[in-house]
Structure 1
Amino acid sequence: MSSTTSRPEAAKPPMREALVAAAFQLFLERGYEQTTVDDIVALAGVGRRSFFRYFPSKEDVVFPDHERCLADMTAFLAASEPDHEPVRRVCDAARLVMLMYAENPSFSVQRYRLTKRVPGLRAYELSVVWRYERALAAYLRDRFAGTPDGDLRADVIAAATVAAHNNALRSWLWSDGQGDAAEAVDHALGSVRTAFGAAPEPSADAPGGAPAGVRAGVAPGLPLVTALPDEDDVVVVVSRRGAPLWRVVQEIETTLARK
């Protein structure tokens, strides 16, 4: 009596992932503009109806995870407790986007290169970024409700958080995904927390409560802005209540320029 041992077939990727893989294979081989939805579904071995079940358009297949990430960010912010420091909370929410990119560095780098070459995709990406920013701003507007310039502060901090995150993320993508994306993004978001977070406790070992060993830049009626020595990339801001936020940012920029 003889027996044969059959090897199990490799599991096929889910249809959504198969469509994304087929699309990027064609984008790289033919170019984005020259690839049609019909080409993608033919390579993936499915029908057009299956494609549009997962992706409303060809642009959406380039950014397959942003809807999920935006939903995760919105849920994360909605689960915030009253004692959560709001600036830290939005920085933690922004890290969810970095984690999404870091899940698949090679795919993220491919998408970055493709987006740089196709103006329509750059415009699409900007619309996605705007939706993230609006989610952060909505949370901050709620937290700052009833405070002076609450809506203005919310919008400025949300924009700064997105700008800092994207600056670090683009640098990581430009380097072909080399290095630690989380570390780069954390460093960038630390600047946001330093600039807009809660004021530090006064130090007892320096006159007027300023930390020892700082350089200060002060103008009448403006915030006190101090920068720690060069080896510490930190700026401490102590603002008078009601100071216009744009003046706070201006003083920060002026102090950093003197470093």
Structure 2
Amino acid sequence: MSASYGHFAYVYDRLMSDVPYEQWVHYFKQQMFKANVESPYVLDLACGTGEVAVRLAKEGLDVVGVDLSDDMLMVAKEKAEAENVSLSLFQQNMVELDLGTQFDCVVIFCDSLNYLQSADEVKQTFQKVYEHLKPGGMLLFDVHSIYKMTTIFGDNTFSYIDEDVSYIWNCFAAEEYVVEHELTFFAYDEEIDAYQRFDELHKQQTFAVETYIKWLKEAGFRDMRITADFEATGPVHDSERIFFSVYK
């Protein structure tokens, strides 16, 4: 994964315009309703450009966003200002999370957990999140399924062509349940009246649902609810995105 995302942060929203962020917000609100939690204090880990965090802040919630990328956080800050909402933002690695406070809910949405580089990093993140939750607090996160990593990504190529930005996205299956995403972008720069090329290499990995459950239990979490693809039902063999709702 690129440590800073560089130029990618500034075309990210354009490329992700069809991503259903509202569905993540709806999922969050559903889980808060089930837990009978009103006005939770929320930590959005790997908040990226703030699409979810800003939406939650617009709901009147107190939201803190954390991301590894300065560039992503800058875009998130600009969005929060444009929407006239308060959003506290910090640059940290979720594996080394240290905010000195506890939250009612921590979210790690949009398959962000899949960017961690090892099993140990996932386990360390679960432990750090546990420490940052109030007693009875909730962790919500989603990950790519094994099916999506091996069948949909696999060794496939995707492309997107538009007037201002285009990309070629090559996926390479590496070790088991690991995919490397090689992205080449061509973005129009008005200042020089020309297209600029830049490249990104992102690596994602996932694990079996049973493995995530084991690590969550080891971190101290309980009362786990596992669903798939924004539905209320459990995952099946061709589910693409697995959702976890767990309590401290």
Short-chain TM bin: under 0.3
Larger Rg: 1
Q: Calculate the TM-score normalised by the size of structure 1.
A: 0.24
Specify which structure has the higher proportion of strand: 2
